[in-house]
Structure 1
């Protein structure tokens, strides 16, 4: 009888543990990072009066940097803002693992206690976000104040422009869930493409092809693959009439050889995925207005920013993924 009872107890413990593990795993799967982050941004806005979309913009930019740089690991929590440990606790602080706001301040560290638990932790989302919010607040709350604070933070004009662009997009849509994508042409048009990234190009000097060519007829509509903001628009000797859109992952999307732009598209225009931005053409390889030196097609490129420089990467896998998703959505 004792053996039977022991066996039953073991089975019950196993069932309980299994149920707990499954419940926790399910809870982790159902956590919405956008909801969690937005709650943190709004909490800090209430405490500091810094607009939530300023905080979201910096955090989004920093998340993109973590993806682009090998010297930064992915964030452990929901907030991706990066501070070096020596800056957080103070460069002359003998305790580089210091958690006390008082001694951190004494050694001119920047770390602050954002949730009132008496600790300033680099691993605490609220502490990190509060530290950023207080920094931005010290410069003022206008857009110009924001840009000045960003300049002192990053010491790079392009970083300032990217973060300020993110802020405008978040302010416009009033949500964080802006990472959906669309294929760059309507599926009912005839088009063809293959992987051409890295192929040799000769016009204007020896160089590699930094994108994918999608061949289609003149005037086929070109759609934005992402949410973002128009960073560049106009004539480029290589790309002809082109549009450059920066998304919220810091990726620059380059649409070239257009025959023209959709009405209302200009520098600073806020764009959503699938929005019409221009029309397929054969412009480029010469002075403004040059057309017809090659068959009509869209040159589509993607460039990643790492806070120091920017480089191209092969957009073909992304195009295929977005095309498959678009076809699946039509079924």
Structure 2
């Protein structure tokens, strides 16, 4: 079985439901553009509109066929997670998204959905995560900056969410968000090329040093974008840890405990990732449908120096085991 572990989907019925239920979300301004929707959450900068490939189910299935991919793990679209809106409204928003992700997965079983949770509030995030598991989700895709720009995943108020994820054995896919938190990346296409990396690197490093990876050891964490430079800076992370071991989590142990996708766009980088974390922790991913991703994801695995058994695990064996498919 060949599995794409990293993709995004916005079911067309979700957009229709958002329009129909707009009155339930007073903190969200809908922006009609070219037959699609963009969003402004709590008066913040408008997102991009939902692109057609995010909602083109027939096109997505055709792409899977052309790439010989059997199943695809899909989260929602990070731009529209809405962590900035009030918590109770965020709870309703996440439930609406999850309803339609679950529905499209039942209609098209090749999609394996990851839920959305309202990370602006730890207790509500835990509540929605528990609901999602009862509906058949294996876990959630979460953004790097809960509560909006500058938020951190090790915020003490999020402990109920992490405790729930630990008790449920959730798969938690950590993904960069719309704003990377550094205005210097808003030129030259650097928000995608660099900003998503630094955003994820900072979020993951905080989780590691806060001790969350070890404390919540039953959570299966996926660090997107090939670990977002974590393997490259492991020496510096280790050195920093050695200076204050009594207070910091162990970065080597944390990297060995997580999972990673192949979206590094260079076979040398993928081989280095495997050397640091082990090939068994790597799963093929595309970031479909975004051009900054890898829209021919089998190729990099073919071109990287792996044994046949390692390659089979990356193509789908690791994801099949992790998601119990």
* Higher RCO (CA 8 Å, separation ≥ 6 residues): 2
Larger Rg: 1
Same fold (TM over 0.5): no
Output the TM-score relative to the length of structure 2.
0.24
Where is the helix percentage greater, Structure 1 or Structure 2? 2
Where is the strand percentage greater, Structure 1 or Structure 2? 1
Output the TM-score relative to the length of structure 1.
0.24
